[in-house]
Every structure is written in C-alpha cells, then in structure tokens.
Chains A and B, each alone.
Chain A
Amino acid sequence: MPRIARTGNEAMAEAMRQINPHVVAAYPITPATEIVMIFAGFVANGVVDTQFVAVESEHSAMSACVGAAAAGCRVMTGTSSQGLQLMSEILPIASALALPIVLCEVNRALSGPINIHCDHSDTMAVRDFGWIQIFAENAQEAYDSVLQAVVIAENMQVRLPAMVTTDGFIISHCMERVEALEDAEVKKYVGEFKAVNSVLDVGKPLTMGCLDLQDYYFEHKMPIVESMKKAKDVILEVGLDFGKQFGREYGLVENYKMDDAEIAMVAMGSTCGTARVVVDELRGKGVKAGLLKVRAFRPFPAEEIKQSLSKLKSVAIMDRSDMFKNQGGQVFTEIRSAMYGGANSPILTNYIYGLGGREISLDDIRKIFAEQKKNAESGEVSQLIQHFGVRI
C-alpha cells in the first residue's frame, strides 16, 4: 500500500483519479480549486477516461452533473462555500432524480463578509437537500471517504448523491501521510457503474424531471426519506467492510474513549484531531473525558449519538457555524432533539467556534473540557450557548 504525503485536496483528487468517473464538471473556488486543477491535469495527461467539463459556474457544474448522471454515468465534482451555495438550487434536484453524484466539498465560511477559511456554514446550509454528508477529520479519511461515498451513493437501496467534506486549509492544504490503495484495488472496490435510468436510452424513452403538482410531489419526496433510512445501515456496512478489506474501519460516529467517560466533546471534522490530544491528556490526569466524532451528518445518527451520550454528565457540543436563531448551532440543535425523551440526558452545552477560520487551540479545548468538568460537578449549566473565541 503506497504511503504518500498528501494534502486533503491532493488526497481527494487522487481518489477521483482512481475512481475514474465518466464525467467531472467543476469550477474553481478556493480552497477546493486544487482538486479541480489536479484532476484537470489527470485529464490532460490521459491518465483518466473522464470527460471533464470545465463549466462557467458552479451552477452549471451541478447542472451538467445532473445531466451526465441522468445519462447513466458515474459523475463527480468538487466545490466550496459560495460555489456550494450557487449549486444549491440544483442539489435537491439531484437527490429527487436519485442521481448518485459524489461531491468533494471543502468547508469554507459563507460570505459575508467574504472569507476563504474554514467553518461549516456552507455545508450546513445545504444539509436538508437529500444529500448524504460525511465529514472527514484528516486527509486519510477524506481519501477513504470519497471512495466509500461512491459505493454508498450507488448502493441500490440508497441511490442518493453524497458529499464528503474536509475543513478548508486545515485539511485541504496541510500535508499529511496518506495510505492510498492500489489503482486496481480501487477499480475493484468501486466496481462498474450501474445506471438505473438513462436519457441516452433512445430505445426506451424516459421523461425525467416532471412537473409534480399537489397530487405527486409528496410521493416523489418519500424515496429520499426511505433512502436516507437505508443509508444509515449502508454507511455502517460499507465502513465495516472497508476496515476488513483495507484495515481502516469507519462508522456513522466514532467513540473515542467514551466507554466510561463522564464528560465529552462532540465535534466534526479537523477539530476532532485537536480534541483527541486533550482527551488523552485528561485521561493521563485521571479525568474521564471522551470525544464523540460525528462523521455522517446526513443521515443523522441520532440513535448512535443518544447511545454514546446518555450515560455522561456533561457534554460540549461544538458547532463551526451558527444558525442565528438564538438556540445554538446545527449539531447542538439536532443532538438536543435526539436526546429528548431519553431517561438520562447529560448537560448539553453548545460552543459555536472557529467561524471564518478562527483557530481552535489545545488550550481552547482544555478550557471547554474544564467547563464540562465544572458542569458535571455542580450539576448546573454554566452557559448553555456560547460564541467561543470571539472578541467582545
């Protein structure tokens, strides 16, 4: 297994090369540009069979992806932030048409003000469009998850588009050691693309994207509901199988030192790496601290999270975006909802942090854990929701 130093973007582009999709339609945007650039290089050098469509906007990128996927092709793209927003009109069309497009998304703060650095506001803004969303902690996970996303999205029980996200610059541009699979292994792993519907089938003319009025729109949304339910099992199966085949196992969530934990942090993406260090440190001091990493945000692993958190005393839920509703961020909101009705619920507090790429340091995480310890001891919530690390 080749071990190569790669940035998150390079790792994702490498996965795309090995997947060798029929069509890639993409548009440059910082910090995801590199993915498209590197892939364009593969196309120019003839190392992939892909038809690369260098479109004039992200809106057209997703539109062309929908066209190509409806024509029975394996289709991929990459984007970030404003680009994802410009695509957003077409994202729910991709899921309604049951097109298993895979998108490499690099998390970046939404304008305004314009900013190029990481937060999760872009990905969160499109969370309810029927796309599977997987957050990667590092370049290795990004690489592995892109491969898995193809298998998950194309599963006949699922058949939904999927996006795999990395944190802008923190993962996308940092060099890490990545273990890549052999080309032949990837080819075998993702297999041949099986089309369900194709507008290129001129012998069996289909009409796709009909006008649904009051009498059918609701029915046409139900397959997404059902597919998202199935996707939970499929993500687990695929993650388990990936572990068996290649030695790195994945799930919907990852419990890190959670078995006997009393206080914990819930986080997504690169922050998990920082949190692990603090958890280890606290464990060394005898503090029963743990980390719950949420890997799949859509479908939302409510039961798994509930199971992980119900025995705890106090939990810090980390949100790298705000919903501006005075009720905390998306992860917090969903976890609070998931915990409702359970016999045991820990104290849940929300930390909205890192907006626009504001750094979250080891010290910051130590401070957050110290607050959890205080909450756990006092049994009282010191502060339910806080915007952490912002100057007053």
Chain B
Amino acid sequence: MAIKKMGWKELMPGDAISGGTAAEFETGDWRSEKPIFHKENCINCYFCWAYCPDSAILLDENKKVVGIDYKYCKGCGICDRECPTKKEKRAITMETERK
C-alpha cells in the first residue's frame, strides 16, 4: 500500500491527479465485522450493490454478484441489512472479523 511520496517536480501541474487512484488504497483493514456472501442463495436483486458505500460488491462479466471485495469493504453491514433473502437462506451474513 505504501506509495513512494513524490517530490514537487514529479507532480502534475495545477494540483491535479488522474482519477481513480484511490483504488490503490485499501480500507479492508477497517473492518470489525465481515460480510460473507452465499452465492447459492443470491437472487441478483443488486440491493447490496446499490447500497454499498464502498463499491465493494464484486460482479462477474455477466454482472452477477460473485462476492465481496475485501480490499475495500469496511464491514458496515448495509449489504446484509438490505439483502431481501429469507432468514434461513441468506445470501449475505455477517461474522466477526478475525485478523
């Protein structure tokens, strides 16, 4: 995660930077709780995807939900809270993060 700090001559002019570089920054270690994805129960409603503040719901090339991007997931649990699947067949469940 550590990026060498640039000197001023290496910076782009005008306090600008290419967009999207935050993808290099991992926030997964913020988690105290961890969402677990159960593909067999997923109905692909995308509620988890729509409400994830961290763009951490992984989709495959066919745009099916395939898991959680733990690089970014902060463990807020919104995905689990918004998942409409029934109690005994949850597509997302939360567990305590073990580090």
Contact = CB atoms under 8 A, between A and B. Distances in A.
Direct contact of A and B (CB under 8 A): yes
Interface of A: 96-99, 159, 196-197, 204-210, 212, 215-216, 218-220, 222-223
Nearest to A205: B19
A223 B10 CA distance: 11
A218 B6 CA distance: 11
12 contacts: A97-B14, A97-B15, A99-B14, A159-B14, A197-B16, A205-B18, A208-B14, A208-B16, A210-B15, A212-B15, A216-B5, A223-B8
B11 interface: yes
Nearest to B7: A219
Nearest to A204: B18
A159 B8 contact: no
Contacts of B11: 216, 219-220, 223
B13 A223 contact: yes
The 4 lowest CB-CB distance pairs between A and B, nearest first, are A98-B14, A222-B8, A205-B19, A219-B8
Interface of A is mostly: loop
Contacts of A222: 8-9
Nearest to B6: A219
Nearest to B11: A219
Interface size class of B (residues with CB under 8 A): 10 to 19
Given A96-B14, A220-B15, 11 more contacts: A97-B14, A97-B15, A159-B13, A206-B16, A206-B18, A207-B18, A208-B16, A210-B15, A212-B15, A220-B11, A223-B13
Contacts of A219: 6-8, 11
Contacts, number: 54
Contacts of A197: 12-14, 16
Nearest to A209: B15
A98 B7 contact: no
Interface in B1-43: 5-9, 11-20
A159 B8 CA distance: 16
Contacts of B15: 96-98, 208-210, 212, 220
Given A219-B8, A220-B8, A223-B8, A207 B13 contact: no
Contacts of B20: 205
Nearest to B18: A206
Nearest to B9: A222
B43 to A, nearest CB: 34
Contacts of A99: 14
A93 B4 CA distance: 26
Contacts of B7: 219
